[in-house]
């Protein structure tokens, strides 16, 4: 029995030491990866509009509970709450749309959302579309049992009326709970001056 255990242990050690031989020789070759500058620093030609859009918006965010099966039929409109929404411009002409620690009386969890969005411009409106946003939740009372829901797949669509400074957003946080957010806000006065 001791010989069998020793032989099994020796084989396990040899296999674990030889594990690198199973990987492709190209696995750690950085020259095969695309140049990150090609897509991270791309100029979308919307820098002017990103700067116009950037600022702080005095907003009201409402949560909508959808059906669990299709996530397309609204079931319950939850309480709305006030929260500042921030928009920061990026050098390539995109923007980051985010807010921190939003909650309502119905939802004790605090919700933080950050979505990188691309812009499309017409004469009087700037449209926003974002994917791969991050959503994090926080509970002031601490967690009990299961971890708090979070997502790295949040999506956003929205529009900004250039003449009035009004912003409308629809955010799908892609959480396990079928909740989506609808936000309406106005650019703060000091931002407009």
What's the pLDDT tens digit per position in 91-119?
A: 888 999 999 999 877 677 888 999 999 99
Token look-up 């407009």 returns: 192
Average pLDDT over residues 50-63: 93
pLDDT digits (tens, 9 = 90+) for 155-168: 999 999 999 999 99
In 90-139, which ranges are E strands?
Answer: 95-102, 110-121, 125-138
Instruction: Examine the pLDDT at 19 and tell me if it is beyond 60.
Output: no
* Mean pLDDT computed over every residue of the chain: 84
Q: Are 163 and 126 in contact (CB under 8 A)?
A: no
The CATH number of residue 163's host domain is 2.40.160.20
Whether residues 75 and 165 share a domain: the answer is yes
Task: Verify that 142 and 65 share a domain, yes or no.
Answer: yes
Based on the fold, state whether residues 105 and 13 are members of the same structural domain.
no
Cα-based distances in Å from 18 to 9, 13, 21, 37, 147: 14, 9, 6, 36, 37
Q: Do residues 65 and 34 share a domain?
A: no
- Pair (114, 187) in one structural domain: yes
Determine what percent of the chain is predicted with pLDDT higher than 70.
85
Identify the residue with better confidence: 15 or 126.
Answer: 126
Query: From the CB of residue 174, how many other CB atoms can be counted at a distance below 10 Å?
Result: 19
User: Which domain, by its residues, includes 92?
Assistant: 46-192
How many domains in the chain?
A: 2
The Cα–Cα gap between 151 and 132 comes to: 9
Same domain, 17 and 57: no
Res. 127 pLDDT band, cuts 50 70 90: very high
Contact 68, 20 (CB under 8 A): no
pLDDT tens sequence across 61-74? 998 989 988 988 98
Give residue for tokens 């242990």: 9
Same domain, 54 and 30: no
Q: Does residue 191 surpass a pLDDT of 80?
A: no
- Residues above pLDDT 90, as percent of the chain: 43
Indicate if 78 and 94 belong to the same structural domain: yes
Tokens of 65: 């509970």
The whole-model pTM stands at 0.74
Q: How confident is the model at residue 35 (pLDDT cuts 50, 70, 90)?
A: low
Kindly calculate the radius of gyration of the chain based on its CA atoms and give it in whole angstroms: 24
- My answer on whether 27 and 65 are in the same domain is no
């Amino acid at each position: 029995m001791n010989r069998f255990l020793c032989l099994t242990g020796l084989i396990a050690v040899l296999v674990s030491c030889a594990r690198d031989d199973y990987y492709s020789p190209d696995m750690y070759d950085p020259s095969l990866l695309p140049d990150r500058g090609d897509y991270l620093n791309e100029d979308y030609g919307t820098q002017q509009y990103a700067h116009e859009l950037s600022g702080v918006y005095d907003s009201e965010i409402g949560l909508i509970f959808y059906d669990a099966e299709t996530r397309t039929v609204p079931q319950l409109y939850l309480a709305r709450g006030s929260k500042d929404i921030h928009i920061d411009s990026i050098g390539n002409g995109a923007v980051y749309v985010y807010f921190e620690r939003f909650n309502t009386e119905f939802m004790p969890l605090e919700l933080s959302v950050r979505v990188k969005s691309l812009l499309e411009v017409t004469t009087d409106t700037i449209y926003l579309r974002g994917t791969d946003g991050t959503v994090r939740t926080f509970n002031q009372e601490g967690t009990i049992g299961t971890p708090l829901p979070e997502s790295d797949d949040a999506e956003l669509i929205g529009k900004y009326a250039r003449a009035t400074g009004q912003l409308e957003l629809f955010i799908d946080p892609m959480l396990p709970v079928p909740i989506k957010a609808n936000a309406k806000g106005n650019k703060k006065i000091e931002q407009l001056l």
